[in-house]
Structure 1
Amino acid sequence: MTEFASRADGPVLPADLDEAAHRCLVAGFDGKTSVPDTLKRLIDRGLGGVILFTRNVRDAEQVRHLTDTLRALRPDLMVAIDNEGGGIGHLVAAGAPEVPGSWALGVVDDPRLTAACADALAGHLLSLGITASYAPVADVQSRSENPIVRTRAFGDDPDLVSRHLRAWIAATEARGVASCAKHFPGHGGTVTDSHHDLAVDPRPYDRLDLAPFRAAVDAGVPLLMSAHVVFPALDPERPATLSPRILSELLRGELGFEGVLVSDALEMKAIADRYGEAAGARLALAAGADQVVVAVPDPEVVLACRDAVLAALGSGELAEERVTEAAERVRRLALRYARPRRSRAVAAWDGGAGLTAARRAVRSGAPLPEAVPGAYVVDLFPAPHPALNWGGEDLLTEVRAFDPTATGTAVTGEPEDGEGVRSVEAVVGAVLRGAAGRPLVVATCDAGLHPWQGRVRDALLAARPDALPVSTGLPEPGGAVCAYGRGRVNLRAVAEVLTGQAV
């Protein structure tokens, strides 16, 4: 068996085992037009995949050139991206189809429309040379306090979520793009965001939301992503990503999943702060993962994870059979999806499906209001999540596209007392002055999670009982007009209602 040794970056292993270990890695990187040298060396040694982010995107032609460059280095390299729709996507600058978030699709509850939205996203990916999408979200929004799933889920009912998962997976597969149901065995029953800390779902086994994942497996989903969540009913010690009981016994044994199991990003604090990324990579593969993701564009983190896996193989701490099994699953996935099936001239998709869905999703606790021309719009929402893309969408911009006489403000993040920073009271005072003599629209996004929004909203509604409340997250009490998401088309659909343009 040939030995592999080029530079001092890991123990010397047989060439086939070294390549197998590299197939089990997915790496993020910096760059729009060139590939970093470290990444080139990893690809040459068998790197299984790369994950693209907004940092890798300038426009569609540039992305096509980048994916061509990557595949010229290794034709079976998987090129993946998070592409959920709504506010979760990284291809705005590349002309991504506009679709609402999953919750709005669940509100409409028309699987054919969900399939049309998924088809549009997958068709666009294929045209760019991206053939793996880390979507859809299979989580059920089971806890009102959950800070990370929310409108990314199709809903709070497992049967509804399963219906729309099947539609999404089938449409994506028909395009020749690999879909990925996430985050197994569910992140919707937590009150912690695993990007920031270890999350725990305390429910007993029979209350866990496994049905959508069973539906995804039955639908033939080729990829599943694990959750950095502890489930005491399954494994009281380790998060799912590192748990043999959850990944091997439950997912493989009981659910019968035969595709590629990929970890959520290892640099998330649920893993990084307790285990470290390198140990996380070794433990995840030992537990049953087939690929581990390092999304940050830090080659040292990627190399540390790779070296930990190589060292564990060399010492026998990580079984060769486990890594070769994982690498074989990745190889089969690559044979099926790594190369785009068709030329870049892919079949057209329904570019209007997303706006149609967003329009149909708009709801209100009362009859939808009449138009409010010349309104003052205050849009309150939390600062963008650092791990999720946000294109800067705001409701005022969408309203002004139909009614240039509208004015207002967007407030992103809690206003506090201090030099140069507005307090809640100052914001309320400024809004009331600006809205004098005008209709007032007050939009919030998940005010239950962000009490400052509730304080601003309640003060404004107390001073202006005629004000129209709007919710751009999950429904708020008080008869608000609901968009069920902050994707651009969600906001546009609400803006059409507010300006009398609704069709």
Structure 2
Amino acid sequence: MTHSEPLSAESDEAAHRCLVAGFDGTTTVPDTLKRLIDRGLGGVILFTRNVRDAAQVRELTDTLRALRPDLLVAIDNEGGGIGHLVRAGAPDVPGNWALGVADDPELTGRCADALAGHLAGLGISVSYAPVADVQGRPDNPIVRTRSFGPEPELVARHLRAWITATEARGIASCAKHFPGHGGTRTDSHHDTAVDPRPRQELDLAPFRAAVDAGVPMLMSAHVVFPALDPDHPATLSPRILTGLLRDELGFDGVLVSDALEMKAISGRYGEAAGARLALAAGADQVIVAVPDLETTLACRDAVLDAIRTGPPARQRVTEAAGRVRRLAERYAAPSAAVRDWDDGAGREAARRAVRAQALPRPVRGAHVVDLFPPPHPALNWGGEDLPAELRAVDPTATGTALTREPADPEGFAEEVLRLAEGRPLVVAVCDARLHPWQARLRDLLLAGRPDTVRASTGLPEPGDGTVCSYGRGRVNLRALAEAVAGAG
């Protein structure tokens, strides 16, 4: 076969099946996307940019399926502060770390059921969750409270509960990020990430548990594991995707890449080469999450060019497309009937996590300073803060939320101390180890008010305080506010 020889219709459709595309729009489908769908596009991924309200999302997913009934409609839907469906009435469930602290798999299943039931009602068929990563390094910048915890077996038992509950709703779950992102000190959204541990120390047990639980999808990590393959990130490594995942762990579901525009791939290889190499390594679908459909087209063209090189590439893409087709037969059509889910499961879990620790004496009428990093654009909704949740349970409370160091920290601290004069002061930080400006500002306030109630909305660390929400989802912050004010 030469580069000038036309492809068969079957090969053309197979190449499109292997793509998941992001796009702009809440009510209309771009013409370029329509053409991709007509040629067999495997899936689309929705983000906050595609969400206005629940009715609009359902109308959008119906419109997409009218173009092609077997199109998979996917979204990142981990719960807590990680998700894009707040405007569409997403159930309030805490992030995974809080579920791990509560450590009740039945409760985790109820939370996963609420998320999956909501997706079914919106016509979304694939949930890129749960996170199977073990939070192994205190300086890891990307997993953190998205993980169920620091121990592989803890993570494994909650994965099983999540996958089972999601499957019962007819939604495809996707355990991520194989073979783990918790041992890195770099966010692969921004740069090459490396896990330097020897093979025997890698956290593969949760992924084995997910495969044993029948998870239909796994997502690869853009992480280099020198003990497994020193030359390629997992997403592009035949040794990891085929040798380890397929041959050793026995996974035969759909393996999807993390987004190709992440700098660990795009910065070194480019999205188009990344698509070609990922599929050759053993991936079945690649995600192009950016709304610029020209990038998706470039990835598509790279896959078509690969097919033209001869039978090995054509057979690999045909195999991948077959897995995607089987997944679509099972999940593409959302459940016809959506039963009610347990609206209280998330509140119960968040409260149990907060109250699983020694709590400070409740205070009323407090002034709260909430320090946290800006929302991650690829992951977070970011519309929640602790002052708002505290005022909801104690209208006499006041507060300030801050996502970056003020130009005049000393002046800011002086103003806070003035506002809090004669009142309790609460200072919350979120992962201050990674964002030292928070610790500096907290210490300025503690110097003026040694009686300050200290709190954390991220991973608890020495010096952070006496009460922790273990996440920044709205329900996490409400549970923390209730503990501070003695309410709920």
Matched, 1:470 2:455: yes
Cα deviation 1:123-182 (Å, max 9, x = unaligned): 000001001000000000000000000000000000000000000000000000000000
1:427 aligns with 2:416: no
What's the CA shift string for 1:58-96, capped at 9, x where partnerless?
111111111110000000000000000000111111111
Query: Given that residues 139 and 212 in structure 1 are in contact (C-alpha distance below 8 angstroms), is that contact kept between their aligned partners in structure 2?
Result: yes
Q: For 1:266-285, what aligned pairs fall within 5 Å after superposition?
A: 266-285=260-279
Q: Does 1:389 align with 2:362?
A: no
Which whole-Å CA distance do the structure 2 matches of 1:285 and 1:269 have between them? 18
In 2, Cα distance between equivalents of 1:381 and 1:12: 54
Residues 307-337 of structure 1, C-alpha deviations (whole Å, 9 max, x = no match): 0110111123961110000000000000000
Pick the aligned partner of 2:471 from 478, 481, 485. Answer: 485
Paired letter, 1:435 = A
Map residues 101-500 of structure 1 onto 2, 5 A cutoff.
101-316=95-310, 319-343=313-337, 346-363=338-355, 367-415=358-406, 422-478=407-463, 479-500=465-486
Check the 8 A contact 1:281/1:305 in 2, yes or no. yes
Tell me the secondary structure at the aligned position of residue 31 of structure 1: coil
Q: 2:15 touches 2:317 (CA, 8 Å); kept in 1?
A: yes
Unaligned segments of structure 2, at least 5 residues: none
Determine if contact 2:362/2:484 at 8 Å carries over to the other structure: yes
Deviations 1:235-286 (A, max 9, x none): 0000000000000000000000010000000000000000000000000000
Is contact 1:261-1:291 (8 Å) kept? Answer: yes
Q: CA deviation at 1:481?
A: 0.3
Give the drift of 1:434.
1.3
State the secondary structure of the residue aligned to 2:434. Answer: coil
Q: Secondary structure at the match of 1:455?
A: helix
Aligned partners of 2:312, 2:80: CA distance in 1, in Å? 40
Match of 1:80 in 2: 74
1:41–1:98 CA distance, 2 compared to 1 (3 A) = same
| Paired AA for residue 86 in structure 1 | G
User: In 2, Cα distance between the equivalents of 1:156 and 1:40?
Assistant: 44
**Which whole-Å CA distance do the structure 2 matches of 1:108 and 1:489 have between them?**
14
Relative distance call for 1:11 and 1:446 in structure 2 (3 A) is farther
Deviation at 1:12, TM superposition (A): 3.0
How far is the alpha carbon of 1:498 from its aligned partner? 1.5
Number of aligned residue pairs: 484
RMSD: 1.2
Q: Structure 1's 220 and 364: CA in aligned 2 closer, same or farther, altered over 3 A? A: closer
- SS across alignment from 1:251: helix
Amino acid at match of 2:307: L
**TM-score, length-scaled by structure 2:** 0.98
The one-letter amino acid of 2:84's match is: H
- The one-letter amino acid of 1:252's match is R
TM-aligned CA distance change 1:11 to 1:41, over 3 Å? farther
Shift of residue 477 of structure 1? 1.9
Native 8 Å contact 1:282 1:308 kept in 2: yes
Show CA shifts across 1:473-498 (max 9, x none): 00132442010000000000011111
Q: Given the superposition, is the C-alpha separation of residues 377 and 320 from structure 1 closer, same or farther in structure 2, using an over 3 Å criterion?
A: same
Given that 1:11 and 1:311 are in contact with CA atoms closer than 8 Å, whether structure 2 keeps it comes out as: no
Gaps of 5+ in 1: 1-9, 416-421
Q: Measure how far apart 1:363 and its partner are.
A: 4.5
For the residues of structure 1 that align with 2:216 and 2:417, how far apart are their CA atoms? 53
**1:14-65: CA deviation from partner (whole Å, max 9, x where unpaired):** 0001000100000000011010000000000000000000111111111111
Distance of aligned partners of 1:414 and 1:316 in 2 relative to their CA distance in 1, 3 Å threshold: farther
Give the counterpart letter for 1:501 in structure 2: A
3-state secondary structure, aligned to 2:328: helix
Determine the C-alpha separation between the residues in 2 that align with 1:393 and 1:286: 42
State the TM-score, normalizing by the size of structure 1: 0.95
Q: Secondary structure at the match of 1:181?
A: strand
Please state how far the C-alpha of 1:387 moved relative to its aligned partner. Answer: 1.2
